[in-house]
């Protein structure tokens, strides 16, 4: 029913660019053929909602350098395969560095000598905050979605008419924290029917000239979000400016530990200050993240850059657009 209505509404509109911010939405859209089912004038564009992808080259290289200098580190399993300037964390481990791959930050709770490489948005931040509560040092590359959306909306390289907002982030921060960007925005879940209904809501708004934030995930997302998760984040982190791959420095979009003694960037500043970093030649992940190009438009995609041999961050994670498109041959 939603698809039929989408087709009807599309006849009343010109070209429409809808960005799904979350990699989980991209996965569902591509896997279920939603993008291909859209009317020709409705374009679904992948956004910067992959935590691995928006982590900068400098942040990756600094963690590799830390590990190569004898500091035991830990991070999520996806992160260790992301190419650095000279090698990945996985390759550094093969060269003798003490690097632990985890699926949950809580796996590091009993390992107080290890530095945790914290990445991700508001969904993974509470678990990193738990480590800080237990006196475990953290190198934080955590990002905040609302300032990221604001930066996207003002970036002249990006042409967005509406946004599908990340449901998992909304669970933590609540619907009230998303900024008014003067375009239709819909919070939604990850099932195909959730996404199709949300696209219909967006097109309805565009036809009627509305630009509202709609919660289409009411069974899960509340107005104010998860107070307990917010509390542990606020007690252990402070908001700072942060660098994002593809978007540059975004004011008040990152988090650092409040306790300088647990901030690995301060604790190991002498080692980190000697890190050499540069962008990877040929990789267009930064353009994919902001929806400038589709993964298949990168000259490395599917040729020299594959999930088994990633040449950029977007080909590593299950939420990375390049990996998703490659898996589904889009």
- Give the mean pLDDT of 189-200: 96
Q: What is the pLDDT of residue 330?
A: 57
Is residue 28 within 8 Å of 324, Cβ to Cβ? Answer: no
Question: Can you give the pTM of this predicted structure?
Answer: 0.95
* The pLDDT of residue 269 is above 90: yes
Do 2-47+148-211 and 53-144+225-272 fold alike per CATH?
A: yes
* The pLDDT of residue 274 is above 90: yes
Q: What is the pLDDT of residue 291?
A: 93
> 2-47+148-211 belongs to which homologous superfamily?
HypD, alpha/beta domain 1 (3.40.50.11750)
Mean pLDDT, rounded, of the chain: 96
* Integer-rounded Cα radius of gyration of the chain: 20
Strand 248-257 relative to strand 237-244, pairing = antiparallel
What does the alpha-carbon distance between residue 52 and residue 68 come to, in Å, rounded to a whole number?
A: 21
* The pLDDT of residue 204 is above 70: yes
For 47-89, how does the pLDDT look when each residue is reduced to its tens digit (9 = 90+)?
A: 999 999 999 999 999 999 999 999 999 999 999 999 999 999 9
Q: What is the pLDDT of residue 1?
A: 58
Q: What is the pLDDT of residue 145?
A: 98
- In the CATH hierarchy, which fold is given to the domain comprising 53-144+225-272? Rossmann fold (3.40.50)
The percentage of the chain sitting over the pLDDT mark of 90, rounded to a whole number, equals: 97
Number of H helices, E strands in the chain: 15, 11
* The pLDDT of residue 257 is above 60: yes
Tell me the β-bridge partners of 43: 17
For 225-252, how does the pLDDT look when each residue is reduced to its tens digit (9 = 90+)?
A: 999 999 999 999 999 999 999 999 999 9
Query: Domain spans of the chain?
Result: 2-47+148-211, 53-144+225-272, 285-327
Burial (CB < 10 A; 0-12, 13-18, 19+), residue 277, is middle
- Give the mean pLDDT of 148-164: 94
* The pLDDT of residue 329 is above 80: no
Q: What is the pLDDT of residue 260?
A: 98
Is residue 51 within 8 Å of 143, Cβ to Cβ? Answer: yes
- Give the mean pLDDT of 98-116: 95
Q: What is the pLDDT of residue 113?
A: 93
Task: Tell me 155's DSSP state.
Answer: -
Is residue 69 within 8 Å of 145, Cβ to Cβ? Answer: no
Q: Provide the 3-class DSSP secondary structure of residue 135.
A: coil
Q: Give the closest residue to 55 by CA, choosing from 117, 148, 151, 141.
A: 141
């Amino acid at each position: 029913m939603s698809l039929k209505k989408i087709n009807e509404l599309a006849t009343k509109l010109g070209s429409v660019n809808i960005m799904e911010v979350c990699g989980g939405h991209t996965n569902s859209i591509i896997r279920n053929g939603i993008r291909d089912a859209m009317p020709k004038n409705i374009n679904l564009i992948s956004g910067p909602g992959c935590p691995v992808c928006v982590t900068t080259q400098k942040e990756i290289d600094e963690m590799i350098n830390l590990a190569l200098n004898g500091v035991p580190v830990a991070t999520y399993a996806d992160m260790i395969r992301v190419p650095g300037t000279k090698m990945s964390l996985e390759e550094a481990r093969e060269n003798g560095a003490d690097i632990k791959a985890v699926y949950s930050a809580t796996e590091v709770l009993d390992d107080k000598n290890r530095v945790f490489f914290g990445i991700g948005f508001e969904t993974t931040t509470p678990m990193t905050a738990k480590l800080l509560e237990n006196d475990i040092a953290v190198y934080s590359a955590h990002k905040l979605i609302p300032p990221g959306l604001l930066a996207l909306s003002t970036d002249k390289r990006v042409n967005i008419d509406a946004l599908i907002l990340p449901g998992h982030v909304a669970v933590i921060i609540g619907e009230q924290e998303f900024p008014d960007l003067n375009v239709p925005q819909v919070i939604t879940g990850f099932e195909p029917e959730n996404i199709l209904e949300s696209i219909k809501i967006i097109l309805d708004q565009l036809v009627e000239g509305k630009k509202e934030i709609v919660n289409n995930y009411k069974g899960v997302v509340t107005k104010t979000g998860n107070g307990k998760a917010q509390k542990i984040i606020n007690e252990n982190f402070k908001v700072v400016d942060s660098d994002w791959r593809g978007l540059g420095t975004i004011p008040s979009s990152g988090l650092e530990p409040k306790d300088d003694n647990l901030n690995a960037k301060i604790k190991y500043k002498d080692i980190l200050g000697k890190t050499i970093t540069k962008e990877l030649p040929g990789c267009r992940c930064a353009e994919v993240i902001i929806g400038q190009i589709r993964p298949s438009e990168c000259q490395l995609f599917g040729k020299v850059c594959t999930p088994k041999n990633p040449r950029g961050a977007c080909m590593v994670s299950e939420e990375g657009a390049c990996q998703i498109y490659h898996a589904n041959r889009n």
